[in-house]
Structure 1
Amino acid sequence: MSSPRRRGTRIALAVLSLAALICLWLTWDSIRSLHLTLTSRLTQHSPTLVLPLPTPSLTNNNLTYPRRPPETLSSAQAREHIDRLNAIREIAFSPHSKFMQAHNLENVDRLLQYLSRAEAGEPLPPPRVVLSSWHFQPTCYEESSNGEVQWMRPILDLMREQDIFIIYAAFPDKSFRKDFKLLGNDLITHTWIDDEHLIWCFQDPVNCIQSPENPDGVPLWKMFAFTFWGSLRKSGKWLPPTAGNVSWSFNPLGAEWNLVPYQMPDGHFFLGYHYERCYALEYVPFAQRPDQIVILAKKSEYFHNQVLFFDQSSFYARLKNVTNYNIITNARVEDGFPIPDGLSSVGLLLPTEYDIQLANTKALLGIGSPLISPTPYASLCRGVPVVLPYRSDTGCPARPGPDEYCGFYGDIHQHGPAASLGEPYIYTVDITAPIEEAMKTIDRAANTPIEPFEPEEMKLTSLRRRLLDYFDIDWEAHGRAKGLGTAELALPPWLIEWSRRSPDPTLK
């Protein structure tokens, strides 16, 4: 017969084991939700009581970031935001088109509903509100298939799902500066700005960036460049230094404040994207597809001004003889740039028609441009392998890693991020090697069936996690840790020269 002390010990151990299991089961989001609920309820009886909660750091693209401590929006704060939004409704949220004004007001109404829940006592964190001047955002609500839209459109859907609010304000007509001040620094948590807009804002301490002369302006740490292309060392756009392999960013805060669709070197924040039409069609078995290869090119110019491919005047006729396949192009025929021999020209197709054509193809062949289009991923979704060119004589590998810039340079490699997947999904051909090797590789790709494939980092669950991580980072604390302050930051001479040549049109 066990003693009372032993029975008490067993009970205590059982309780501790149960607590451990509960802790393992709870995700960070559920822990934070539980913390907010308990804190809200307990502070109703004891306003000085605050429950401590560890705030583990977050990682993205090999960098570690501090996590924001949990907060609860008070009823009074919610009421203040509601009154302000209602007061400025007639003078804010009005970009250059009525079309975007309607989308802005839709987001504002959703924000008001969220704030009303907080005012009624629901324990909610402060709202996450983005003011965006990214010029592609309006096209996300239209029938557009360009890469930038395919990047952002799923992000907008996730923001709606997760109660994250975005308001568009055009930069060149001064809407951005005006709406930031009307909405207030206490409500706007992040700004997503075109790269040029960010540089111009940074140089405007009177009207745009927060400064002693402009205390209601945009704090540095809230200025994020939303950029499909990132900040590339070899980019000539910003007139950067050409000597040496020097790391730099057009964003004075550093590459972390550049939000990009692919994992890029130097700590760019990898937001990523999800190809939303990935499962729009049923898989067509390999044996049921016609013997055809589709060329990745929307313009006939690509067949003539391409530096990252073989001599195209005779290439396609030779490829057709080697594979016995029909070689198809959808390129728009432009004046002075005829379609090369050996190609069957179908012309530009609607996105849905192109998806059907791709699903009935045995390989997709890149010829150097476009550089980092989403199309290779669309091809893999259909179970169609992709062939991409690169130059080995530059030292760039066939499968560049995420720390190598060469996969983003159009004269060295086409679509390094996709190429990193390797065979049997992505094949690469070295244009400095004998052309016969390329022919064999393309023929092998076109005769090696694959199942539909979506990279893990492009799945909706992965994009959702990175998006939520981004909004959970304490960017102000990260900026302080880097020593970023207005007084310490200055544009390098080459960016000042770029600004002299390309001045902010709103300051004219």
Structure 2
Amino acid sequence: MALPCAGPRNKVTRVVLLFLALAALLYIPLTWDSIQSLRLTITAHLTQSSPALLTNNNVTYPRKAPGILSPQKSREYIDRLNEIRDVAFSPHFKFMQVHNLENVDLLLQYLGRVEAGEQLPPPRVILSSWHFLPTCYEESSNGEVQWMRPILELIREQDVFIIYAPFPDKTFHKDFKLLGNDLITHTWMDDEHLIWCFQDPQSCMQSEQNPDGVPLWKMFAFTFWGSLPKSGKWLPPPTSDTSWSFNPLGREWNLVPYQMPEGHFYIGYHYERCQALQYVPFAQRPDQIVILAKKSEYFHNSPLLPYPSDFYTRLKNVTGYDIISNAKVEEGYPIPDSLNSVGLLRQTEYDVQLANTKALLGIGKPPISPTPYASLCRGVPVIIPYRSDTGCPARPGPSEYCGFYGDAHQHGPAAAIGEPYIYTVDVAGPVEDIIEAIGRAVNTPIEPFEPAEMTKDSLRQRLLDYFDIDWEVYGKAKGFDTKELALPPWLIEWSRRNPDPTLE
């Protein structure tokens, strides 16, 4: 995502920085304090020279004005954190208490630097109830976890502090008030939590009766699936309405892993396991194709199941390849004939298997999984099914919802990469065409590939942009302070059937 910039201004910036560096070398003693002073001068100049606006997923946001935390405010925060240490930061999971206290200690160190005289901006502090956050500290291959782990690493590098507070038992509500609205800069919630908080002006959302609650503009839904009009998670809206979002604040307050339609805030992710293994040259791999499926039920109930009962036999006969299934065998859902069923593997074992295969074959489920990117970064092409008779194209753009619907496409974002990395096969077309495309994939070697938007640097820049946005100003521009926001009727009904368990 490129930020707008002016060429002449960049030239001026380079000249100014060169002058500052020369002046420092000629006139400033090279002590640690002088180096820090020079760094702050350069940083301040760059901040002043940066664009006033930021763009993400075709939405333009205002940038926050730079600020410096005062030593007095820093001391206030330090005293507050020490005072509440024994009554906050203690979620049900012991290992998350360790996580919280580590982040609190890092925050205290940051605040201590300000007290010692260093000029630093106010800290960026997240309070998160997202229920996948604890699983990042367990052995898990969930897509949500693979999305979050590198984000946790990056935000620590950037002096961002994240505290976990589960939503049940009003832990989240209480911890927000203990930490304080002036210290917490962002909240990351499950989508259900955001809806429940929005409907709870007594103890969660900021209101006249709850002035210490969460302001609307600080309420972000951290959601792998975004807000899709045809989502099966919520009660369906009227069929003619495709513009709604479960988030009453708007899609901009939905933080998502892919560039989703209509202004979702695109955080994205970096697949960090790519570096775990050495690349295996194509010619040294066995002649095998791995099926993308963790459950045997996928072979029977996928809306994109492209293959008749004898498909895998035909594929094996045509290619001469071994077709591998890693699916867990579930009762009533046998593994199809001609597949070599090896069962579920540990993550490290699966990484080795994937690196030693010649293609990854999708069968419709799971949708928008990170696994195709794990495959590409090991030089393994991917075949993804879609249905042309739904009106969905083979390579839907980021403004088309159908790339995220499991009955139309398995992975629209990955399909946009195109051949020779991602092959799309039309399951509404002839089986022969599908087999031909698979044959092209296994006979077209590729080098390891990582999309530019999934590099660590790209993810870091989008995160920095997110924290640089003045969400309060943007919220006011959307009328948060002047108009009453409300859930659509079908979401009110969903809330009635699925009430917030923390409400009394």
**TM-score normalised by structure 2 residue count:** 0.91
Match of 2:118 in 1: 122
CA separation in 1, counterparts of 2:242 and 2:290?
A: 39
Q: What residue in structure 1 maps to residue 288 of structure 2?
A: 292
Shift of 1:266: 0.6
Does the CA-based 8 Å contact 1:118-1:124 persist in structure 2? yes
1:174 and 2:170 are equivalent in the alignment = yes
SS at match of 1:192: strand
Structure-2 separation of matches of 1:188 and 1:274? 26
Q: Could you say which residue in structure 2 is the equivalent of 1:11?
A: none
Match of 1:439 in 2: 435
Q: 1:60 aligns with which of 45, 49, 56?
A: 56
Cα distance change of structure 1 residues 427 and 17 upon mapping to structure 2, 3 Å threshold:
closer
Deviation at 1:20, TM superposition (A): 5.3
Distance 2:326 2:10 in 1: 63
Q: Describe the SS at the equivalent of 1:468.
A: helix
Q: 1:169 to 1:307 in 2, by over 3 A?
A: same
Contact 1:297–1:330 (CA<8 Å) still a contact in 2? yes
Q: Is the 8 A contact 2:394 2:424 kept in 1?
A: yes
2:307 and 2:431 in contact (8 A); partners too: no
Q: How does 1:297-376 map to 2 (within 5 A)?
A: 297-376=293-372
- Alpha-carbon separation, structure 1, partners of 2:52 and 2:37: 16
Assess, with a 3 A threshold, how the Cα gap between structure 1 residues 284 and 25 changes in structure 2: closer, same or farther.
Answer: farther
Deviations 1:250-293 (A, max 9, x none): 11110000000000001000000000011211111111111100
The offset of 1:66, in angstroms, is 0.3
- Aligned residue identity for 2:162: I
Letter in 2 for 1:236: G
What amino acid is aligned across from residue 487 of structure 2 in structure 1?
L
Letter paired with 2:15: I
Alignment of 1:100-499 (within 5 A): 100-485=96-481, 487-499=483-495
Q: How far 1:485 moved relative to its partner? A: 2.8
Check 1:492–1:24 CA distance in 2 against 1; reply closer, same or farther (3 A cut). Answer: farther
Any idea what the Cα deviations from partners look like across 1:177-201, whole Å, max 9, x if unmatched?
A: 0000000000000000000000000
Report how far residue 36 of structure 1 moved: 9.4
Aligned partner of residue 263 in structure 2, secondary structure: coil
CA distance in 1, matches of 2:50, 2:146: 37
Asked if residue 501 in structure 1 is aligned to residue 497 in structure 2, the reply is yes
Q: Aligned with 1:196: secondary structure?
A: helix
Give the letter for the 2:14 counterpart: L
What is the total number of aligned residue pairs between the two structures? 478
Q: C-alpha separation between the residues in 2 aligned to 1:327 and 1:38?
A: 61
Residues 180 and 159 of structure 1: CA distance in aligned 2, closer, same or farther (over 3 Å) = same
Q: Residues 430, 75 of structure 1: CA spacing in aligned structure 2 closer, same or farther, 3 A cutoff?
A: same
Q: Can you list the C-alpha shifts for 1:384-433, whole angstroms capped at 9, x where unaligned?
A: 00000000011111001000000000000001000000000000100010
Structure 1 residues 35 and 246, CA gap change in structure 2 (3 angstroms): farther
In the TM superposition, what is the alpha-carbon distance from 1:54 to its structure 2 partner? 6.4
Distance of 1:102 and 1:125 partners within structure 2: 26
Task: Check whether the contact 1:36–1:124 (CA below 8 A) recurs between aligned residues.
Answer: no
User: Once the 2 structures are TM-superposed, how far is the Cα of residue 23 of structure 1 from its aligned partner?
Assistant: 4.9
TM-score by length of 1: 0.91
* Cα distance between partner residues in 1 of 2:341 and 2:199: 49
In 2, the alpha carbon distance for the partners of 1:210 and 1:39 equals: 38
Native 8 Å contact 2:280 2:356 kept in 1: yes
Distance, in Å, in 2 between the alignment partners of 1:410 and 1:385 is 21
The structure-2 alpha-carbon separation of the partners of 1:300 and 1:17, relative to structure 1 and needing over 3 Å to count, comes to closer
Structure 1 outlier segments of 4+, above 3 Å: 16-21, 23-26, 33-41, 51-55
In structure 2, what residue type is equivalent to 1:257?
W
Conservation of the 8 A alpha-carbon contact between 1:234 and 1:242? no
Whole-Å Cα distance in 1 between the matches of residues 89 and 306 of structure 2?
51
Aligned residue for 1:278, secondary structure, equals helix
Q: Secondary structure at the match of 1:165?
A: strand
Alpha-carbon distance between aligned partners in 2 of 1:213 and 1:103, rounded to the nearest angstrom: 33
In structure 2, which of residues 85, 90, 93 is the aligned counterpart of residue 89 of structure 1? 85
- For 1:422 and 1:40, the matched residues in 2 are separated by 40
SS at match of 1:58: strand
8 A Cα contact 2:306 2:385, kept in partner: no
1:47 corresponding residue in structure 2: none
- Gap runs ≥5 in structure 1: 1-15, 27-32, 42-50
Whole-Å separation in 2 of the counterparts to 1:474 and 1:52 = 15
Separation in 2, partners of 1:220, 1:240 = 25
* Distance in 2 between residues matched to 1:34 and 1:387, nearest whole Å: 54
Give per-residue Cα distances to partners, 1:411-466, cap 9 Å, x unaligned.
Answer: 00001000000000000100010101101001111111000000000000000000
- Change beyond 3 A, Cα 1:245–1:497: closer
Identity %: 74
Q: Displacement, 1:333?
A: 0.6
- CA shift for structure 1 position 77: 0.4
Distance between the aligned counterparts of 2:49 and 2:119, measured in 1?
16
What CA distance in whole angstroms lies between the structure 1 residues aligned with 2:268 and 2:390?
A: 27
**CA shift for structure 1 position 236:** 3.2
Instruction: Select which of 7, 14, 23 maps to 1:21.
Output: 14
State how far apart, in whole Å, the 2-side matches of 1:283 and 1:17 are: 39
